[in-house]
Amino acid sequence: MPDRALVLDANILVRSVLGRRTRELIEKYAGDVTFFVPETAIVEAKKHLPILFSKRGADPTKALELLNRLCDVLDPIGTDIYGSFETITRQRLASRDPEDWPMLASALALACPIWTEDRDFFGCGVATWTTASVEDFLKG
């Protein structure tokens, strides 16, 4: 297992399908970094991507195909890994978006940062990286 790991937020999954930069970073560093993704983030991305593709006049089935290919290099995790952190993470996110608790709980359970564009995680007790700066972390 690689010595570096990140938890990916659902918005990173969506960006990876909609654009190039995020997907290219994941593909480039997949052998050197473990990309953990709460299963709830995959479900959320699968819910939103077809809608976003349709709005852009693109085939929504392509969105799910791209996401499924991307998931081949990701490590999905379930509540068996992070569930015990639900209460504390919901408290930390109470004034923000408590439904994002699985990402924060995963980061706490795995002792690794979150890759996100969501400012709700800033100041929650774990390191966060945005796409603009994450390559510094990914390089090691």
- Residue-wise pLDDT tens digits, 53-72: 889 888 889 889 999 999 99
Predicted confidence at residue 96, as pLDDT, reads 87
Among candidate residues 35, 13, 27, 22, the one with its CA nearest the CA of residue 112:
35
CATH number for 119: 3.40.50.1010
Domain range enclosing 73: 4-139
Q: Where are the alpha helices (DSSP H) in 8-100?
A: 10-18, 21-29, 39-55, 60-71, 79-82, 86-92
> What's the pLDDT tens digit per position in 105-123?
999 999 999 999 988 888 8
Indicate the number of domains in the chain: 1
Predicted confidence at residue 140, as pLDDT, reads 84
Q: Which helix (H) or strand (E) holds 138?
A: helix 134-139
* 116-128 burial: b if 16+ Cβ within 10 Å, else e: bbbebbeebebeb
**pLDDT tops 80 at residue 2:** no
Predicted confidence at residue 1, as pLDDT, reads 52
- Quote the pTM value: 0.92
Band of pLDDT at residue 88, cut at 50, 70 and 90:
very high
Distance CA 122, CA 22 (A): 20
